[in-house]
Structure formats: structure tokens, C-alpha cells
A and B are shown apart, each in its own frame.
Chain A
Amino acid sequence: MYELKFDGSLCQTCPTADCLVKCQYMDLEKDEAKKQMVNIWEGKDSFVFEGCVTCYACEEYCRRGNHPFYLITEKREEKGLLTAPRAITKQWINIGEPQGKFKVGKPGERVLSFGFMPEFFKMAKGRLFQKAMPSFIFGQEFFCNVVYIHFANTSIIKKRLPMIMENFRKLGVKEVVCLHDECYGSFAHLAPAYGIEVPFKPIHYFEFLYERLKELRNDIKPLNFKVAYQRPCSSRLSPDKHRLVRDIMDLIGVRLVEREYQDENALCCGGIYAMCFGYDLANDVQRRNMDDMAKHGAEYCVFNCPACQGTLGEKVAKMGIKPIHMIELCRMAIGEA
């Protein structure tokens, strides 16, 4: 079966132990951090299992090509240590179960993946998507399943992801533009980490937007907004694409406020925390995050992930910060939204 490619010796020789030293939810010095990571690799107990809130960030912090978060997840599952209440895990596994309710537009060689987030049906329109639509797929049959690492459950991913790949293979698509960066993270990062073959080239929708906006450069009217960007957990799986946030903002004349909780220090939207760990953690993270946006004068909060927007959108709106998805922001820049 599929096994995580993890090289423990890299941890033993790691000069920084950034994976845990930089963690925003645990306070560890380098030596202790290194020790705990090695413990985890060796299958021993570690307080990290208790302290980790599943923000995915250590996947980005590790610069040596290892997969600290996947390892924590694997070991948690092996030890039967739950992150989320059983009922919540069960519910999420049920939500992702293929039920034959998928939708396929007219797929060409390049297809847009909506995952199974219906929000994209409303977003993927207008000139930005003129050439791409109606080549799309939607539904659990094409769902990347990466979310289950929040729930310390990689076995469901290992079971389902190869079947999902087979569904893509049957479509015969060559490139998949992932409108949800969880999908991109799954196809470009998680699948290779487990040796799961991906039969197409995954493309992050930021790249797609950036290229398309360049083509439509003459239609862009700079928006001149001050915005905060809500970076989702899954973005930690593809940190190389995160730089495109700034590139896109520059292109459409939007200024990112330089705030504390951005880039590597980004804070989670709190949706998963609420489900897994209760009120205090979720509330604390959301409060700090939103206060930080307000303090720096953000007029808009730009979301990459519709789920983050679902969790935080109404809350930021109540503070007078308008919630908007990155795609809608780009459409606005070309006078469409």
C-alpha cells in the first residue's frame, strides 16, 4: 500500500527544527523540537500529539523536504489519538463519500476542478473563465480528500485518492486547474509524498488567474483597495504558489496590508479548530486574526478558500471588512463583479 516517504535522519541532523520551533500553537526550543520530532518518527509518545492543532504549517516550515505534519497525522492514527470528536470525523468522511452525484461539464484537455464546492459554479464565469468553461468537474468523485489530515485519518485518503485519480484518468484530461488549493496541495504535494501517481499536471488557480489577468491587462482598472489576505491551511502544502497572491494583487492594483498574521505567520480561519477543539482556541485565533486585519486598515478580507469564507466571512463583515473571494476580486478588477 501507499506509504509516507519520510526520512527521519533529516530530522536528526536538522540545524533548525523549524517545523516545531516556528509552530504558533506550541512553544518549543530547537533541541526539544528536534527531540520530539525524532520521537514521533520512532513511534514514541510525544506531547506534540496533544498540542498540534492541525494547521498544516509545519509542512511549509520544514525546508528539508520532509513531511512533519503528515508524519504526525500518520502516528496519531496509528495510536488512535483523535483530533476531532468521533461524530465529526464520521460526518466528514460521509460528506466526502462518492455517491454518483458528480457533475462533469464538457471536459477538454484542461479541466477546471471545483472539488465539491458548489460555490465555484457561481464564481467560474465571465471573461476570466471564457476559454476554460464549460470544461469543469465537480463532485465527491473528484474530491482531493486532503481534509482528512485534519482528522488524523490518512487511511481514508490512501483508500480514496487512487480511485479519484482513476476517475481523472478516465476523463483523459492532461491538466487540472484546481480552484481550491486543497486540491492542488493534494495532487502536487500529498500524493507524491505517498507515491500515489497523479495522471495529469495540477495547476494552481492562482497561476491560471495570473496568466489570464495578464491577457486581460488592458481591461484591468486598479481597484486601489487595502486588503487582508486570509491564507488557508492548505496553502501550506504549496508555499511556492503563495507568492502569487502578491503578484495578482499587484496586477489588479490592490494593496495587501502588512499585518502580523500573514505569510508564514498566517492564522487559521478557526473553522476546524471550533469543530475539533471547542470555543476557546477558535475564538482566540479568530479574534487575533480579525483584530489584526482591522488594526491595519483592511477594507476587504480576501479569501482563497470558500470554507474559510464560510467560517470567517460573516464575522469580518460585522467588523466592517468586506469578505470577498480571490476570484471575485479579480473579476471586480476587470469590471465584472
Chain B
Amino acid sequence: MTDIMHSLADIVGEDYVSSQPEEIYFYARDPGLMPPHEPDYVVVPSTVEEIQEIVRLANREKTPVVPMGAGLALTGLIIPLKGGIVIDMKRMNRILEVNEGARYAIVEGGTSQGQLSAYLEKNYPRLRHSIPDAPPTATIAANVTIHGQGRLTQQRGFNSDMVGGLEVVLPSGEVCKIGSCALSFGWFSKGPPLPDLSGLFLGWFGATGIITKLAVKLYPRKKFRDVEIFVTDRGELVPDIVYEITHTEMAEDVLIFTQPMPLMFRDNHHVSFYITGDTDEELEFKRKLIWKALDRFIKAKDGGFMGIPPAMKPTLLEMPQRSASRLADVKRGGGFEYSGPIIMVEKYPECSEKLKELASQYGLAYSGMVRVIDGGHSMMFAFAFAFNRSDPDMMENTRKALKEVSDFVLKVGGVYWKPTVEEQRMALENMDPNTRKLMKMIKENLDPNGIMNPGNWEFIS
């Protein structure tokens, strides 16, 4: 046993550290298309103190640490690019507090989206959080670290906008509180009215610290929830349709999908929106307003509401949508990957055309999936391709198509979401040089030994 192994075993207990080939194999990979890289150790700590000790050890040994939630980002963000210690956070999954009046919950850094959602449903039926459509094992902390989006994103912005405070283990091993909780017992704001330091950690993929606790803001859960789907055959009308829907301020969530299969979806664009209400009247009022807002498209025969078969409704209403994961089996091969840039809604037509073009060029099964963000200021457009894990050619073609998406995104003014290492490099190369300088300064000052998820947001001077 190596010294590091001994030390890790002392910190977390022998049962929760491994350098065995099985864990090394598994934690070298994520379900996406990035090449594997082996960690040297995998640990599963259960306390903040243990994480502090691990980080201090890593600093002493100059060995990398890579925090990991459920590892579902697909873009390789938890692959230990330079080896070192992978910290599987999922044993730290306690829900510590729910403040019903101020509507926030404080959870540990490994708590899953599904767990919080189920807990609230059972104990606080009038509250909910913005759950993403990633599988429910996805952790809340990892999701805000990558600026994830969820079911309330159309109304409230990125899930990271809905953070009420953070507890972070810094690269030095110190624990630091971010937001109102730095000064108050309340975790109601991640920054304001103080300087907002949460930006030092949100969006950094663990390259500046490890989130060990966070508060997520909660929002009213209405008694009823329904979904409608507006269909058009003209992609160029989608931005107008979204504009009209968001203008009503009646929709909770607005999603768009375009895909060739099942056949009923072929050649159309589907704008689905969700409405909620505590009474039938409230629900119907919202429905009516949105329907009326889209009346001109119906009259012009440019779009209409599809009748949603009763059997399809539960699939659309469930949170998260299991069907999103099922894309991985379209090619009976356990894989899909997407590039999901954040981009202005007006770029929808170009994005959907590009998606179809790439799918046809590389012979891939595809789905375009969009989530409208923050009342229509932007959207996440997922260029998603299914692949068969046992077909290397298909995997290579998917990589090539996604590489083309990366180039396309910059051309149409998009910004990468949860970028791969290559996309991070492209982003850094293309951004305002002074912004890059500022990011570099932050990273080097916080993590002088470069131990935190190295390879990510790495600055080659």
C-alpha cells in the first residue's frame, strides 16, 4: 500500500478508499465519448472534515483531486485527466434543513436531485426545486457547478442562479462560506448584497474548490400541472412562437424538440410548455392566455396544438423525464452525447438546420432538445446524437459531428455549456483577453499547486 493510500484510508476508513483495478477502470470513464484516463485512487468520504483532509493531503503530495457527483455531464468533466484522487461525493447526501418560510433547502454536496425532490414532495408538498431532466441520481452540487438547467429555468434562470449559498472546501483545505450564510444564519442569497463570490466556484467544474454544502432556492409547487405542445413545420417561426409564449409569463417551463423518430415527430418542431395552477381556473386561465397568444399562427395554418394522447401525458409530466435517458438506446448501444450551447433563441432555425445537416452527413440518429432560459434571454440547444458503444465507427462519427458543432457554436454567437476540455480551450482562446487574464488570476491564486480537477479551465500561457 502506498503512503497516499495509507493516508486516505486513515481519513475515510479502509472500506471507502480503493486503488483496485475495478474502481480504477470505472472511474476513468464517463458515459460519453471522451477518452478515459485512470485515477490513482477513488475515495468516498462522508464529512466535510474528511474532504478537507483529502485536499490537504493532495496539496502536500501535489496530486490532483477530482470531485464527482453522479458523473453524468457526458463531456468528461469528471475524468481525472491527470490521475490523482477521484472524490465520489455521494455518501454526503444529507438534507440538512428546509426553511419553509424563506423557501430554501440546505443539502450536502452529494445529495441527488431525485432525493431532494422526493423529500420535498413528502414533507413540504407546497415546495419544489428546479429539477433537471438528467437522471435523478445527478447531484445538486455538481449540477450548479456546471450551470445546469431545470424545470424552473424558463422562469428563474440557470439552476446556479437559484443557489442560496455555498460551503466550499478551498484548494488550501480551508472551509469557506459563500453568500448570506457568511454573515447570517440564513442561507437566502448566494451573494447580494455582499460581493457575489459564488462566481468563483459556479461554472468551474471543481477547479477552484469543492462544494460540500449548498442552499437551493425552493419555489411554490402548485397542485396541478399540465403540458401542451405547439407544433410547427417551420423552424424559422420558433423564435416568434417562443416570444409569444414567454410574453404571457404564464408558462413554467418551455422546451422544444425536433427529431425524426418516432415517425409522428418527423419534419416538425415541437414547442412544449408547462402550466401550473392551484385551481382548475388558474390552470385554464394560463392555458387560455397562451393558446390565444398563438392564435395567429393557427389562423395562418403555420402551427397548431397537437392532441397529446393520454398515454403520452405521464411521460411528458414526469420529473425528470426518463425518456430523455432512453435516447441512449435508440441505436441499441448505451450511448448518446450532446453539445448543448447556450445561445439566443433567434438562432433556433440555424441550429436545427445544422443538426439535421450533421446527422445526415455522418449518418447519425439525432434529437434536437431545447430548454428556454430565463424568459427567453437564451436557450440551451442540445445537438444530441445517439451512438452504439460497441460500434467504434459510429462513435467516431459522433465525435466528428460534435466537433463540427463546437466550431458552429462560436460562429453563431453561442457559448459552450459544460464544455469538453477541447471546447474549454476554444472558449479561452476566443474570449476577451482580459477576461481570460482575470480567470487565470483567480485560478492561480486559489489553486497555486494546480491540484483541483486539473486539465479543466487550464491556462496555457
Contacts and interface: CB of A to CB of B under 8 A. Distances in A.
Task: Answer yes or no: A and B touching, Cβ < 8 Å.
Answer: yes
B263 A97 contact: yes
Interface in A294-325: 307, 310-311, 313, 318
Interface string A60-90: 0000000000000000000000101111101
A81 to B, nearest CB: 9
Interface string B290-317: 0110010111011111110111000000
A239 interface: no
Given A88-B231, A88-B306, A310-B307, A277 B298 contact: yes
Contacts of B306: 88, 91, 275
A85 B304 contact: yes
A279 B291 contact: yes
Contact of B264 (A95, A118, A318): A95
A162 B306 CA distance: 28
Contact of B288 (A88, A283, A311): A283
B263 A85 contact: no
Contact of B304 (A88, A118, A311): A88
B291 A86 contact: no
Interface in B263-309: 263-269, 280, 288, 291-292, 295, 297-299, 301-307, 309
For chain B, give the interface size range.
20 to 34
A82 B266 CA distance: 20
Given A91-B268, A91-B306, A318-B280, A278 B233 contact: no
Contact of A278 (B295, B307, B310): B295
Contacts of A276: 298, 304
Interface in A90-130: 90-91, 94-95, 97, 99, 118
A275 B266 contact: no
B264 A91 contact: yes
Interface string B301-343: 1111111011100000000000000000000000000000000
B309 A85 contact: no
B63 interface: no
A271 interface: yes
Contacts of A188: none
Given A275-B306, A310-B309, A311-B307, A90 B301 contact: no
A332 interface: no
Interface residues of A, number: 26
B93 interface: no
A87 B303 CA distance: 6
A321 B257 CA distance: 36
Contacts of B302: 85-87
A173 interface: no
A268 to B, nearest CB: 13
Contacts of A283: 288
B291 A91 contact: no
Contact of B301 (A82, A118, A271, A311): A82
A274 interface: yes
Given A86-B301, A275-B305, A94 B291 contact: no
Most chain-A Cβ atoms within 10 A of its Cβ — which of B280, B288, B306? B306
A307 B291 CA distance: 21
A94 B259 CA distance: 13
Most chain-B Cβ atoms within 10 A of its Cβ — which of A88, A94, A99, A275? A88
B292 A84 contact: no
Interface in B82-128: none
A95 B306 CA distance: 12
Most chain-A Cβ atoms within 10 A of its Cβ — which of B267, B297, B310? B310
Given A86-B301, A88-B306, A278-B299, A95 B288 contact: no
A106 B204 CA distance: 62
A85 B303 contact: yes
Contacts of B301: 82, 84-86
A91 B309 CA distance: 13
B231 A85 contact: yes
A90 B263 contact: no
A274 B263 contact: no
A246 to B, nearest CB: 28
B263 A278 contact: no
Interface string A250-288: 000000000000000000000100111111000100000
Nearest to A88: B304
Contacts of A313: 310
Nearest to A310: B310
26 contacts: A85-B231, A85-B232, A85-B297, A87-B231, A87-B232, A87-B269, A88-B231, A88-B306, A90-B266, A91-B231, A91-B264, A91-B306, A94-B267, A95-B263, A271-B307, A274-B305, A274-B307, A276-B304, A278-B298, A278-B304, A279-B291, A279-B295, A307-B307, A310-B310, A313-B310, A318-B280
